[in-house]
Amino acid sequence: MNKKTYLLKKTIALTITMLLSFSVLTSIYKIEAAENIYTGINTVNTILNNIDYRDIRQSNAWSKEAICEVSALEIMKGYGNQTFGRTNSVTKEQALALVYNAVGREAEAQVAAEAIDIGRMADNKKTYAPAMWSDGYLQLAATDGLISAKDLSDALALDKSAFTQENFYRDSTAQRQDVAFWIASVLGLEPVYGQQKIFNSYSDWVGADPFNIPYIEAVLKHNIMNGLGNGRFNPRGNVTREQMAQIIKNALPVILPLRGYERKLGTIESIEPSVSFIDGQSKTESTYNIRNSGGSLHQVKTQIFTGQSTDYRNEQSGRIEAKENIDLIVYKNGWLGKSDVLEKGDRIEYTVTMEGKVVYVKVLSTTADTNYLVAKVNNIDTTNQTLNISKIYDIDYTKVDLDDDKFSYHSEGKKVDVTYVYSSDVEVYVENIKSKIEHIKQGMDVVLAIENDMVTGIKSVTLKLKDQSVANGIVEDNNPQLGYITLYNEKKIEDETVPSIKTYNYSNPKNITIMKNYKAANIEEIEGGDSVYIKFDDEGNIEIISAVDNYIQRHGKVLSKKPLSLAIQYDDGTQQILVTSGDIPVILDKKLVNYDSIKEGDRLKLLLNITDTSTSLKQITIEGDEHFITNIYKGVVDKLDDVSNSLIIRNMEILKNGKWERTVQKGFSMIGIAEGSELYYNNENISLDFVNRKLRSNQAYIAVEKDYGGEEKAVLVSFKQSDATELTEFDDSIVSNTMGSEGELSLEKGTNNIFYNRGTIIIKDKRLVIGSSISPEDTAYIVANRAFNDGMYYAKIVEIVPRSDPNFIGIYRGRIASINKNKDFTVNSFSQLNGVNWEFYNTPKTFRITYDTSIVDDSGVVGQRNFTDHGSSSYKDRTVYILANGTDAVLVNTAPYGNVSVKGEIYEINAEDESTEFVLYNTKVYNPSTHMWEKSKDMRLNILQNSIILKDNMIVQARDIAKGDKVRLIKKDESETGDAYIIFIE
Amino acid sequence: MTKLLKLMSLMLIIVLSTSNIKIYARSGDSGFEGGISSGEVEGKTTFDYKEVVFLTGEPIVFSGTLTIKKTSKQDSATGKQIITSNYTYKLTNPERSGNLTKFISYNTAVTEKSNGQKIEETVLNGRYTEVIDIDGVKYNLKNYDFTKTNITDSKPAVDYLAGNLWGRKTYSIGTDEGTVTVDVIGDFYGYNQYWGSTETQVLEYLIESETIKGDIVDKWGGTASIRLSNSTAKQIKYVENEPETISFEGGFVQTQYNNSILQYFSSLPEFDSQGVSTDRLIEKSDSLKIEGFPVKTRLLVPSLHHLKGHWAENDIRALYSLEVFKEDSNKFNPQDVMTRAEFADAIVKAAKEVPQDSTLVTSKTSRSVKNKKEEILSPFIDVPVESKYFESINNAYKRGIVSGRGNERFGPEEYLTMADAITIIIRALGLEALAPVGGVATPFVDDSDIPSYARNHIYVAQRIGLVLGDERGYLKPCEYLTKARASVVINKVINYMRDDLKKDYRERIVNY
């Protein structure tokens, strides 16, 4: 209900109750005197017989009610053969007649018609009354300016042979714009200039006669006529009879006063019949006690005769006629009836004439629907019998139990002041004692029982001191563009829990205090799935929204990564593709990193917002680097040891740079099995048990990761089929991959395609990945078996070789000219190592000293603050190696100059804790004149305190050199002994 | 299919126990000094122990033993329980000719709050010594400030623990060669329950050193962080019999072990050849582990021949082996609907009470009042004391796992639905609060069938993986619980308490 109706109601209530305030005041607790007493009408049978339209009664026509009502009010009539003809179009003359009938001007039309007819030649006089009266309406219309004088003469003309389209045909169909104009004129509606509605709402207004537009606007404004619902008014369209009925019904609020009728609302409180027998007839006089919307009592009286009286005969036939009853026309349950269909509790709308006759009763609802609400009393007006309250809550039951959470906030989220009329016999309880309305005081909290918008019960309650204008629940949807938020909550009604969804609107989020996770936030941050509390101000506007997220942590592994999505396998085995974006923070070791840092095979902790419609990613944490695949072994599995939960393996070999090498430990070795590890045989996931029972002495390939404490544990074990043949290791580039967890690779050099499956150990970026992570252009070491039964190649291991780091470290050598302490230093000229050659540049070069710059001289590390060009330990004029990333010095080293490049494989290392000496075999020395690597004898070389050791472009320590490493190094000469100055581990 | 396989393989490594062997990793077993211990192993009075020392500017791992002694007494003034814990460390590092001895004594006041939570406040009681020798340099603990507080929330089947600590140690180096201060801020989390316990500490160190070398004063600062975790677990594993002619089928072997891990990261300066710090910081990280030697016990072998091939066979077998089910196994019919009494009995045995701290030697001042024989009364009129379920129902009721039906009745012969069962389980775990406020929806297709009282519980159970629903996504919350379904659910709970909780408290803190 909008505010306007409240106002309207208030004024109505005021005017009515003012008149009768005295009686009301005195009569509250006495037998109540009726404010008005009405009677029924005696034409009920006649009217109802006329209305018995068979084409309407059985139909489900939308216009049924309108047809009944306008017929009951005798504005429209049927064709007389029990048909209404609802879809027939109305002609111009019919339309005019109906409009005049509606306002009760039939008599005027008849008078005018007679005047016309008198002026006619005898031959032309009309003998059929309706046709003659029709002339009257036209005349009236012309007089009132509804039609022009020419229209009238056209209408009355006998000879229409010369007529053109421009002429007025009285029996042509009336256009909608005509009807609008006529209704507006006859009803005296103010034409509306400065049109709004027609322009804004209807696209076809141009089709209307400009003259008619203000009138169309007027009927639109009064909701008498409407558009067609498709944005059109259709001004030139026809009007059917049922449409006409509806138009008249819509106009009744204007028409009724013109006819001197009044329409009232009320509820039948009781029906008091009294029967008397007169003259062989029983006469039932009934009094219908109606509590009207003003709170006062109205009575309607009827008289129904049954049986026959000899007093009343047909004067022609002498038949005894039934005496005309004083009855009511009642519209109830979709059709018309008489007063006998009325029941106690019916809420009715009754139309009363100036003479106090009830001409039409419409039952609005058959049971008194009572609402309850909790409210604060603002004002009580005993004179007008009204109560002004601030509504707090709707409640479903009279029982008030605040703790029981049976309150629901008023669904519009509005807290409004409302004025209600209260019934004269309103039941009042104050502190559970029956009291009088006088005991209700301003400021009291009360429960109101509202029946048909009237207060019928008031009960005082004590509301606990808590802020009631609060809603809470889980956000279903928040739409800042359209300004609404929808909450899901559960409402307990008695013992049932009913899910409820409520939407609250907000217009300007800037006026709302918004909190998310206890911090000030924007409205956009409130999202589906959040738990939220909303507080409303006195006007019912949202004042505070306070939300916390309900994000959930889930753990899983990256199956595949795309720029905008991640395919994740959760720990419980389920998989999901999550959409990512640049806004989602990625964290590694408590530092924010790029999305690029996520690698396929990584384990992630995901913060998710899961709602019933979607899952969105909020934060990604990458597991620390403790669990990379450190090595791949192969060996013959002797058994699985239950006690230690480890595999006992003999003939163990390790895959190094794509080649199998025997491990240090001889005989048997033990590899623990990591939690959640997987074992495969013949592309099937097998149990640990299966190993002991069926796979003893089978060869297996084992990928291990480092567990806590540095122990290696198997995470993927792939058994070789005993009849398959192991092929020589491949070192090749991938040309194509069919993708998927099972697929096929084709290689650049290899001629046979190689299949992979779930049992294949696939390593990329030190992580165990699935086949789809292998991309063309990757180079990989591949260990494959040739199956005995189909002769195909099956990969057991695919180890993708890391691409070289773009952060290339340049190696320079130069003489220090000056040092800007802790900032930079400059060399006069320098050589840069390019492959195996030193290239000389005769220009100075400055290198920056950063906090990460390491300075090493012959005795070890030098602090940056001691790296100066003055004093006793000056570095000025010393020739140093400089390893630099761009111009940032990474390492400054005083190792001696060498220009002989040697390469070979480490065969032996003499090392206690620090490696100091190693032996190279397969040794080759670079000959700069021939540009050839020439074979040499084995070399036994020293590692100096300040030897530079590089691996994968990183500076490493001497202890990182391992037996079997292929190295390239720079030394002073070609001799078989000496010091290695720079060692590159390949 | 693979899902099923996975499930099957899981079944085979179930963890459980019934024996009395004492293996514990209680809160405090690793001390609060940034080290890990083996925890208690039967037959050993001291724990194996490892610790990382950052005083010199590089991480140095010491290992040796830790002896813990705790005594408890009532404070006469406040009535609070006071626990005095003495930690004695004897550690070495042969490579650096390192020696570390320390003794620290803590006083812990325990306050029990009205809601059953326990707040512990720990301070040093004034007695501490620490001497560290590294490469011939002596570090002497001059001053130690330390405070630690934690809260323990005891739920029917699990005690949850969270706490914080702050400390500052000042060492003197050699004789007037300088000082090192080590500040530590730490959080710790843990849980303790019958099937296992875990305590995880996250410690952040700030090390500041000032050494005097001749006329050079060398000042540096470094940071380190340590994440460590102690846990015990009981696991069971199915072992098949080799001989064919043997009266029983294969059975379960239970393994109990302590497992402690430590991961450290340090960012400390590089030192030049003179041993003076430089501006360059070196980051190092590594991990340590101490694993107790496992204790193994053979579990009884139920006769379940008639269930061969039943989809819940493994769960039923595990529960019989663990003596969660005790009825005659030959008569076990998985299609029978479980009664409330039977379920209470099973859940009490599956979610046993949290074990007591065995290092705690209670002082003998407590009066013995055991002479008076109290008459045992049943809390329910329909559960007589003589009933074979009395003890379980009484226990479950007292621990707050089950509640009555009203009117002092328990309804032991009544049936219960899946929703009822989940409500009881989640209550036992004490995890009701994981559900968001304001009403929740579960992903089950028949979400609308979930009764309101069980809604939050089912949401939590789904989230922690106790219930998955069937292949079509139905939970069927209102179906009565058959013994087969109950077996699956109860076994899942045991697995959850053994495995998943540990993961949450260990890997998911230490690794991220």
Q: Check residue A309 and give its pLDDT.
A: 58
The beta-carbon neighbor of A474 closest among B271, B273, B439 is B439
Average pLDDT value for chain B: 84
Q: What are phi and psi of A811, to 5 degrees?
A: -110, 120
- Comparing CB atoms, the residue among A473, A624, A857 nearest residue B439 is A473
d(CA A706, CA A627): 6
Is the pLDDT at B261 greater than 80? The verdict is yes
**287-326 in B: which are within 8 Å (CB) of A?**
287-290, 294, 296
**According to the model, what pLDDT value does residue A482 have?**
82
As separate numbers, helices (DSSP H) first and strands (DSSP E) second, chain A gives 14, 58
Phi, psi of A425 (to 5 degrees): -110, 40
Chain A residues with CB inside 8 Å of B220's CB? none
Contact A623 B279 (CB under 8 A): no
Going by the DSSP 8-state scheme, the letter that residue B434 receives in this structure is G
Contact B402, B423 (CB under 8 A): no
Question: Of the candidates A186, A247, A180, which has an alpha carbon nearest to the alpha carbon of residue A218?
Answer: A180
Q: How far is A604 from chain B (nearest CA, A)?
A: 9
Tokens representing A910? 């003499």
- Beta bridge pairs of residue A819: A825
Q: Do A852 and B239 touch (CB under 8 A)?
A: no
Best A708, A864, A893 residue to mutate vs chain B (most B CBs within 10 Å): A708
| A120: its two tokens | 């006619």
pTM of the shown model: 0.62
Helix (H) or strand (E) holding B342: helix B340-350
Distances from the Cα of A746 to the Cα of A736, A778, A836, angstroms: 5, 12, 35
Which B residues 8-37 touch A at CB under 8 Å? 8-9, 12-13
Give me the residue from A685, A822, A913 closest to B5, CB to CB: A685
CB A705 within 8 A of CB A672: no
Residues of chain A short of pLDDT 50, as ranges, are: 1-30, 398-415, 464-467
Burial class of residue B489, CB neighbours in 10 A (0-12, 13-18, 19+): buried
Task: Please answer yes or no on whether A864 and B280 come within 8 Å at the CB atom.
Answer: yes
Looking at the complex, report in whole angstroms how far the Cα of residue B288 sits from the nearest Cα belonging to chain A: 4
What single-letter amino acid sits at A774?
A: I
CA distance A325 to B299: 97
pLDDT of amino acid A836: 79
A636 three-state secondary structure? strand
Torsion angle of C-alpha atoms A882, A887, A888, A890, degrees rounded to 10: -20
Residue A892 is predicted with a pLDDT of: 92
Q: With DSSP H G I counted as helix, E B as strand and the rest as coil, what are the percentages for chain B, rounded to 5?
A: 20, 40, 35
Q: Which of residues 329-368 of B touch A (CB under 8 A)?
A: none
Nearest to residue A331, comparing CAs of A13, A44, A674?
Answer: A44
B456-487 in b/e form (b: 16+ CB < 10 A) is bbbbbbbbbebbbbeeeeebbbeebbbbbbbb
The verdict on a CB contact (< 8 Å) between A865 and B270 is: no
In this predicted structure, what is the pLDDT of residue B425? Answer: 93
**β-pairing, A761-764 with A793-800?**
parallel
B452 vs A: CB within 8 A? yes
Can you tell me whether residue A339 is helix, strand or coil? helix
Name the residue with higher pLDDT: B470 or A938: A938
Interface of B with A in 92-111 (CB under 8 A): 95
3-class state of residue A781 by DSSP: strand
Please give the pLDDT value at position A114. Answer: 82
pLDDT tens figures, B358-391: 555 554 444 444 455 566 788 888 888 888 889 8
The b-or-e profile of A85-116 (16+ CB within 10 A means b, else e) is ebebbbbbbbbbbbbbbbbbbbebbbebbeeb
Residue whose structure tokens are 């009354």: A129
Which residues are CB-contacts of B46 (< 8 A; sequence separation ≥ 6)?
Answer: B65, B66, B67
A862 contact residues in B (CB cutoff 8 A): 272-273, 278
Chain B neighbors of A553, CB-CB under 8 A: 508
pLDDT in tens, A873-908: 889 889 999 999 888 998 998 888 888 889 898 888
Query: Hey, of B5, B252, B265, B437, which one would you mutate to test binding to chain A, going by the most A CBs within 10 A of its CB?
Result: B437
User: Packing angle between helix A176-186 and helix A241-259, nearest 10 degrees?
Assistant: 10
* A589 Cβ contact list (under 8 Å, min separation 6): A624, B265
ipTM tops 0.90: no
Q: Is A388 on the interface with B (CB under 8 A)?
A: no
Asked if residue B16 has pLDDT above 60, the reply is no
pLDDT of residue A161: 76
Q: Find the CB nearest B508 among A605, A627, A862.
A: A605
pLDDT at B98: 92
Tokens of A741: 């967890």
Cα separation, B69 vs A892, whole angstroms: 54
| Residue of chain B minimizing CA distance to A549 | B436
CB A324 within 8 A of CB A38: no
The rounded percent of chain B whose pLDDT value lies above 90 is 32
CB spacing of A860 vs B511 below 8 angstroms = no
pLDDT of A198 reads 63
As a whole number, mean pLDDT of residues B471-480 equals 86
Residue A923 C-beta-side C-alpha neighbours within 13 Å: 22
Rounded Cα distance between A879 and A662, Å, is: 43
Ranges assigned E (strand) in A405-521:
407-409, 417-430, 433-435, 445-451, 454-460, 470-479, 484-493, 496-505, 513-516, 519-520
Q: Residue B408 and residue B42: Cα distance in Å, rounded?
A: 44
Residue A977, strand partner residues: none
Q: Could you state, in order of their start, the residue ranges of all structural domains in chain B?
A: 35-230+261-287, 313-360+377-504
Q: Side chain identity at A499, as an amino acid letter? A: P
- Tokens 């979610």 correspond to what residue? B351
Are A94 and A172 within 8 A, CB to CB? no
